[in-house]
Amino acid sequence: MRSPDNYLSDEELLHILIRKDEGAVKVLYHKYSSILNGIISMVLTSQEARLDVLEKVILKIAHEIDHYDKSYGSLFIWMLNIAHKCAIEEYKSGSLIAQNYSTDTLFKDQLLSILNPDQFKIFESIYLKGYTIEETSGAMLLPAGEVKKIF
């Protein structure tokens, strides 16, 4: 059963995080921990490292929410980028990279429920296949600025 926290819109979540409402971090965790952990799991193999990074990501999102700029993309994409960057930083510090970059069906379903098909193709190209923004824009026949805006 889904938690009632999952029914908050991203706009509502953004507002309670900005206001530093009591329980805002808990709401963030309940709504997005699964999908953020999926992003982290694409980079790190160690369960302990993944959980540590997930905790850091949730706290970083909450503490840096004032730096979120809607003009650069959705709150969800901003959070995905933070999770991916934190996982890469942890990897560079000594954790092992994931052996298999393919995602499980549940994770793909979660992403597809949030991203439109074009956003998913860009996500897949950059995060799963490791292409650069320029390579992705060329393959999708989109300007690099548009790819950056989406991600």
Q: pLDDT per residue over 98-123, tens digit each?
A: 444 445 555 667 777 778 888 888 88
What is the architecture of the domain spanning 4-100? Orthogonal Bundle (1.10)
Domain borders along the chain are: 4-100, 115-151
Backbone φ/ψ region at 20: left (φ over 0), alpha (ψ -120 to 50), beta: left
Residue 57 near residue 83 (C-beta atoms within 8 A): yes
Kindly state the helix (H) or strand (E) to which residue 151 belongs, with its residue range.
none
Query: Rounded CA gap, 86 and 54, in Å?
Result: 9
Residue 151 near residue 123 (C-beta atoms within 8 A): yes
- What's the token pair of residue 58? 């949730």
**Relative orientation angle of helices 47-63 and 75-92, to the nearest 10 degrees:** 130
- Cα dist from 67 to 18, 27, 76, 78, 145, whole Å: 10, 19, 14, 10, 20
Which tens digits make up the pLDDT trace of 35-79? 999 889 888 888 888 999 999 999 999 999 999 988 877 899 899
Residue 14 near residue 70 (C-beta atoms within 8 A): no
Model confidence band, residue 19 (pLDDT cutoffs 50, 70, 90): very high
**Which residues make beta-bridge pairs with 97?**
44
pTM of the model: 0.67
* Residue 127 confidence (pLDDT) above 90: no
